[in-house]
Amino acid sequence: MAILITGGSKGIGRAIAASFAEQAGDVFINYHGDDGAAAEAKAEVEQRGARCHLIKQDVGTPAGAGAVLDAVAAHTDRLDQLVHCAVRGISQPVLEVDPVAFTSAVNLNGTALLYLVQAARPLLRRGSTVFFLSSRGGRTVVPNYAAIGVAKALAESLVRYLAVELAPLGVRINCVAPGVVDTAAVRDLFGDQAEAVVKHAAETNPSGRGVQAEDYTNLIRFLASPEAAFIQGQMIFVNGGHYVAA
């Protein structure tokens, strides 16, 4: 089995890489800048028994996404799982954000899903699955979250369009949206308030705790399995019911 995770060196992406490492032969981790975090992620994946390949590249452009998939194709002729969770936040009100930076962020956070799927198409086979990591910010307004939230909304719609074209090929695509998770992206977005935000999310969750890595990695592994063969083009929240009540 071969899996590619964009943004796989930290946070949610790293947890997914580690989760699949025990059953995957090749784990491809795409990252953009932090070599130290990438090396740590690689060591964790290899300790769990998989071969880990680091690909340093910005997937926010068609050329960048193409370069990543070229690197994958140098090692395998089949990609079983493609997971897009690379993200770039801009912690500013949308009326104040630089439009060029905003567009670049939206391309990485959302439109890159299209770039990646198009570039990966020669490697996708019947039974392959594609995942996009979304969040509630794609459907409700979160302060200073527009560069991510708008992109998440775009990609959720794109998933539905891609599902219709991928389904006849035997390839599935779905969105998974964990609740608030203590990640570098959350800390960058909320700054000094990040710890309080994560704590509040856990304390107010109807299920009595915050989101744990196993909550979303177990779901993704199930969705990637033959048992989930007829789940296509869906958006699934993993949050213990946190957003059910107003």
Distance CA 58, CA 56 (A): 7
Cα separation values, 73 from 68, 92, 166, Å: 9, 38, 20
Distance CA 228, CA 234 (A): 12
44: three-class secondary structure by DSSP: helix
Is 31 known to be catalytic?
no
Contact 50, 24 (CB under 8 A): yes
Annotated active-site residue in 10, 152, 199, 243:
152
Is 152 known to be catalytic?
yes
CB neighbours of residue 141 within 10 Å: 10
152-183 exposure pattern, b = at least 16 Cβ within 10 A, e = fewer: bebbbebbeebbeebeeeebbbbbbbbbbbbb
Q: Which of 64, 62, 63, 38 is nearest to 52 (CA)?
A: 38
Annotated active-site residue in 31, 145, 161, 243:
145
* 3-state DSSP helix/strand/coil % of the chain, to nearest 5: 50, 15, 35
Query: What is the helix (H) or strand (E) element at residue 52, kind and residue range?
Result: strand 51-56
Strand order in the sheet with 2-6: 51-56, 26-31, 2-6, 81-84, 129-133, 172-178, 235-238
**Enzyme catalytic residues:** 145, 152
